[in-house]
Amino acid sequence: MIEGKSEIEKAVKLRYGMIGGGPGAFIGEVHRKAIALDGKAELVCGCFSRSYENTLATGLSLGLPRDRLYPTFEEMLESEARRGDRPDFIVIVTPNIYHYRAARLALNHGFHVVCDKPLTTDSRDAAELHRIAHAKDLLFCTAYAYSAYPMVKHARDMIAAGELGGIRFVNAEYPQEWLATPLEKTGQKQALWRTDPKTAGISNCTGDIGSHIEHMVSHMTGLRIASLCARLERFGEDRVLDDNATIMVNYDDGARGVYWSSQIAVGHDNGFRVRIYGTKGSLEWVQEDPNHLRVSLLGRPNSVLSRGRDPMSRRAGFLSRIPAGHPEGYFECFADMYSTFITALAKKKKGEPLEADDLDFPGIEDGIRGVRFIEKCVESSDRGSVWLTMD
């Protein structure tokens, strides 16, 4: 299974530019390191901060030439679009409020795009990005990278093959403790922008981590939410955006679910966990132990499948990088997402047809669905936790 990984290393190295990801911006560095892991694309330009001084400091430290470091992303996209060695794609890792403007301009200049989640702060803006990307035939990835873990792919393929039977119930949670205290009042950058509606949009907790639950369950099961009832809470002192959320969901095939996301859950680091219960069995995947998948089937002993050791689906085995017992983690799942996207883009540039595996990355449709989920959760909670359909 692991030997198959060598097949994806043949693509010509592509070029990319980055918007966001400057000093103090955790996720930008994750994206850069993940892309570099397979050596299939190189960073050639950037606008890493609203401060040109910070952009210069970041860009020069990364070995970029000064003339490809820009004061604004508008200037960067306009200038880079005219170059003969222009980037093949643009990575957007800014606070949420800038996603739409940066992505729209990148698409209008003919760039393929990878955008951090949530895609936008408004579903109308998300739909507009979809329209432009479709009209210009451009690839668009929404960076729900957790779905690229090999054992997540194996869980998806088990469910699709009917091994769990019909899905009855989903229980998923994503607790963290990092905002259990008023961290934003200390000036901590990540806390400041996520708790401020001017930069985060209409939701903090549900938008930041609850949206991961929506995407992961959808990716694993293929289920779509038909209706939901949400209670979003603000426990932090003087907070105007949610830091805890409980959401009941009804799926389109009659299955039910409960989601819980929290940033004030003391004792939890990054406890993303998904449990899926069917008529024939169940499975459980935990992000902090991503190399294992707990499986229970009626009439058979419970088992824990180990990545790299136990038989996996073809796609899961293909994405597995190293032998069993050598943990693959956060950087590798981002790298698998990017490797898939970049391989698809390289094939597209050569005029080759794209197959299902080439497009096995979270796309713009996933981003649109995530934005609608956030909006409906906020609306339901604001109206007294009423049931709303996902129209």
CATH number of the domain that residue 19 is part of: 3.40.50.720
Q: Is 141 helix (H, G, I), strand (E, B) or coil?
A: strand
| Same domain? 111 vs 141 | yes
Q: Count of domains in the chain? A: 2
Query: pLDDT at position 12, please?
Result: 67
Percent of the chain with pLDDT over 70: 97
Residues 6 or more apart in contact with residue 144 via CB below 8 angstroms: 117, 211, 212, 215, 216, 219, 362, 366, 370
What is the SS3 assignment for 26?
A: helix
- Asked if the structure places residue 339 within a domain, the reply is no
Pair (162, 299) in one structural domain: yes
Same domain flag for 178 and 305: yes
Same domain, 186 and 223: yes
Confidence of residue 7 (pLDDT cuts 50, 70, 90): very low
133 has a pLDDT exceeding 70:
yes
| Residue-wise pLDDT tens digits, 195-238 | 999 999 999 999 999 999 999 999 999 999 999 999 999 999 99
Averaged over 90-96, what is the pLDDT?
Answer: 97
Q: Are the C-beta atoms of 122 and 100 separated by less than 8 Å?
A: yes
Q: Classify residue 327: in a domain, yes or no.
A: no
Give the residue numbers spanning the domain of 202.
148-317+368-389
Is the pLDDT at 193 greater than 50? The verdict is yes
Let me know if residue 344 belongs to a domain. Answer: no
Strands 281-286 and 292-297: antiparallel
Rg (CA), the chain: 21
Bridge partners for 276 per DSSP: 170, 283
Which one-letter amino acid corresponds to residue 247? I
Provide the 3-class DSSP secondary structure of residue 14: strand
107 and 243 belong to one structural domain: no
Instruction: Say yes or no to pLDDT of 243 above 50.
Output: yes
**pLDDT recorded at residue 284:** 98
